Chains A and B, each alone.
Chain A
Amino acid sequence: MYTELNSILNTSPESFTKGDFILLSDKQSDASFLIHHFLSFYLRAKCKVCFLAMVQSFSHYSTVSQRLGVSLAQAKEKGQLVFLEGLQESLSILIPQDEHTGSQAMNFLRDPKLGLQDLYEFVSSKVKRSCGGEAESEEWGPPVLLVDDLSVLLTLGVTVGAVLDFSHYCQATICSKLQGNMVMLVRCDQEEDEGDNESPACLLKGLTHQSSLTLDVQGLPTGYCRDIHGQVEVCWQRRQGDGQNTQNKLFQYKVHDKGASFFARGTSSAVL
């Protein structure tokens, strides 16, 4: 986890707001470094984490998390982490075999018109089990769902409506009922046509409305720079208690080998 980001968001593994839906989005850049941050953050906070990794393999996340100081293999063994590796599960569906060993979660690949119901069933079964009353599950905190990423579901043929339904169901189950958190990543390209109903931009608008905190990652408006990899706009949608509705903060960031550093605009160490 990145300490500077924790101070920007006013959170720490000991105290963070529950029932939050955090939306990560990017436009022509890569916001996956934020997913690694939240993964290590919630594992350190001793929450039960359900991670739907659609685009990369387990070893990729495990290697990066090791650099951030968290061991995914250990967390998986202890039962703290439930990891769905989308790539592996999808192979048994894409290449039909006689014996079907994979879980039902990736059934949307069979026929995308079915929607993401099976995926939701998978998530809710894994998450509810933590609060099912087993003795050893008391030591874990509230459940957390991490999804990396939602836009690949769109490219594989799922409709925007189905994805919005899925996120709404998950929010109702995890955030409202179980007081856990959700973090989802959506990746867009440049501005799409307004008439296109199936674009990630449409999905992003719908999800922004549902979320309580958005982190929007973009490249620098002035172009490519080696020392500053881009800018992050942090936007709170709702604040419990305070009257203030929305508040935006803009930071620039640079990703290194072991983390990312965030700084106010114009105060990069390369410039000063």
Chain B
Amino acid sequence: MAAPMERVIKQQTERSTFKTTSFQKKTRSKLLSIPGTRPSVQNGQLLVSSGVTSLDFLLGGGLAVGTVLLIEEDRYDSYSRVILKYFLAEGVVCRHRLFVAAAQENPDDILQELPAPILDDVAIPKPVEQPRLPCESQESLDSMKIAWRYQNLPKVQTALVSSSRFGHYYDVSKTMEPEIRQAAKSHCFYLPDHPQKTSNTHSQFLGPYSALLKSLQEVIRQEGFEVAASMSNSQNPNVLRIGLHSLGSALWGDDLCCSDSPEHRHSLVTFLYGLRALLRSSLAVAVITLPSHLIQDRALMGNITRLSDYSIALESFKGSERETNPLYRDYHGLLHVRQVPHLNCLASQLPDHKDLAFKLKRKQFSIERLHLPADLSETVSRVSRGELPGANAVASACGSATSGNKHLDF
């Protein structure tokens, strides 16, 4: 069959040009090519991986450079910490620079606990094939003898950009080897090392966060992460990954979580405004975790969400009665996507489903749509008709309102 064969050949040549040009929209500014980043297919923006591939998929391909991801912590700060560590580990593997700030513990301790990357998993890019003449070589490789109807379908491609892969997998049960970790340069900010200067009247409004913002600006300036500086130097541009742990908690000197009408009501939002100003003009991405369950004021939470770009909330089942509920036995918690920004375009791409749940497996942090486990018991009715967020198909039409162990009753 001549026609399908030609289509396959055309796909082959297109795919080979795909690898060399690394598909980008035509923009006036030249797109920087930094290892570990790729341009978004929607609007040509530069994206970095957050370390969790399913989260990348939810957020539209990855985190755009110059934005802030806000993670509302779960109650015991277990899974939000895991995501922060994935983010930093991804930075180490992609040779990005790191900046970690924490008030509760030394940032070095966080950096010691990064998960180990699964490196033998990285696919080796196939050598680019020259487009061959449509003759017997193609036939021998690509023609299918039995399932020839499927010949026209595109082959599954693990798309790679230049040298490194976008998005890696990590093994949470092992920690990263020190040799790998030291390959990436990191800056640490431990709050007790920076006592608050009271003489500075300009930054009184930032309160406890003024030292942090100043330190961030210094790092960005000195290491050359500003976009203007990176474009003019032709040295290798790089991305700075900023991880800020538990902002807004009392350990930062902020009383947002402590009282109903806090004195430092505007410190955190002013800091987020300044952070957005810094990031929009530099090649950096920030991930902030925030104990939102301690903040009573919903309007304040709304302001904080609006001043960050991406915002997700984690709700783990640990310690709640849902932990033992058999409906949730496959998952560790629920994930809510609160906000996805629309940068350089008019419309944002919110995920289609609102009912997402996550599970931390050894080699993967998976986020999927919440679905009920298979009901393999003898009885028809479910064990408990508890509250389920967003799941539509729980109550069967003919079932009664009360849960029971009765067999089929009409």
Instruction: Using CB atoms and an 8 Å cutoff, list the residues of chain A in contact with chain B.
Output: 30, 33, 36, 55-57, 59-60, 63-64, 67, 87-88, 90-91, 93-96, 109-112, 152, 155-157, 187, 189-190, 192, 196, 199, 224, 226, 229, 255-260
Contacts and interface: CB of A to CB of B under 8 A. Distances in A.
Contacts of A87: 273, 276-277, 280
B281 A64 contact: no
A106 to B, nearest CB: 10
B217 interface: yes
B346 A255 contact: yes
A189 B273 contact: no
B344 A94 contact: no
Interface size class of B (residues with CB under 8 A): 35 or more
A196 B306 CA distance: 20
Given A96-B203, A109-B205, A155 B277 contact: no
Interface in B152-210: 200, 202-203, 205-206, 210
Nearest to A157: B266
A90 B347 contact: no
Given A90-B273, A95-B274, A199-B299, A36 B213 contact: no
Contacts of B373: none
Contact of A95 (B203, B269, B276): B203
* Majority SS at the chain B contact face: helix
A260 B200 contact: no
A45 to B, nearest CB: 21
A127 B302 CA distance: 34
Contacts of B345: 63-64, 67, 257
A56 B213 CA distance: 19
Contacts of B348: 30
Query: Considering the complex of A and B, which 9 residue pairs feature the smallest CB-CB distances, nearest first?
Result: A87-B277, A96-B202, A63-B344, A189-B302, A255-B347, A157-B266, A155-B303, A94-B274, A57-B280
Contacts of A96: 200, 202-203
Given A67-B346, A87-B277, A256-B346, A94 B299 contact: no
A91 B202 CA distance: 11
Given A56-B280, A94-B270, A258-B346, 10 more contacts: A30-B342, A36-B346, A94-B202, A94-B273, A95-B217, A109-B205, A156-B269, A196-B299, A256-B346, A260-B346
A155 B344 CA distance: 24
Interface string B279-312: 0110000000000000000110011001100000
Given A60-B343, A95-B213, A226-B352, A88 B270 contact: no
Most buried by B among A90, A155, A224: A155
B278 interface: yes
Contact of A224 (B202, B213, B265, B354): B354
Interface of B: 43, 200, 202-203, 205-206, 210, 213-214, 217, 265-266, 269-270, 273-274, 276-278, 280-281, 298-299, 302-303, 306-307, 342-348, 350, 352, 354
Contacts of B273: 87, 90, 94, 152, 156
Nearest to A110: B202
Contacts of B342: 30
Nearest to A196: B299
B213 to A, nearest CB: 6
Nearest to B27: A63
Contact of B277 (A60, A90, A187): A90
A58 B302 CA distance: 24
Contact of A91 (B205, B277, B302): B277
A57 B281 contact: yes
B130 to A, nearest CB: 37
B200 to A, nearest CB: 6
A111 B352 CA distance: 43
Given A94-B203, A95-B214, A88 B344 contact: no
A79 B210 CA distance: 36
A110 B306 CA distance: 22
Given A63-B345, A189-B299, A93 B277 contact: no
Given A88-B277, A189-B298, A112 B205 contact: yes
B278 A91 contact: yes
Most buried by A among B43, B346, B354: B346
A26 B191 CA distance: 38
Nearest to A37: B346
B213 A94 contact: yes
25 contacts: A30-B342, A33-B347, A36-B346, A56-B280, A57-B280, A57-B281, A63-B345, A90-B273, A91-B217, A94-B202, A94-B213, A95-B274, A112-B205, A152-B273, A152-B307, A155-B266, A155-B307, A156-B269, A156-B273, A157-B205, A187-B306, A192-B299, A229-B347, A255-B347, A257-B346
B350 to A, nearest CB: 8
B334 to A, nearest CB: 17
A93 B202 CA distance: 7
A112 B205 CA distance: 9
Most buried by B among A63, A93, A229: A63
Contact of B344 (A30, A59, A91, A258): A59
Contacts of A59: 344
Contacts of B281: 57, 88
A96 B204 CA distance: 11
Contact of A60 (B210, B213, B307, B344): B344
A112 B204 CA distance: 11
Given A57-B280, A88-B277, A156 B266 contact: yes
Contacts of A110: 202, 205
Nearest to A223: B354
Contacts of A157: 205, 265-266, 270
A157 B354 CA distance: 33
A91 B265 CA distance: 20
Contacts of B343: 56, 60
Contacts of A155: 266, 269, 303, 306-307
A64 B346 contact: yes
A231 to B, nearest CB: 16
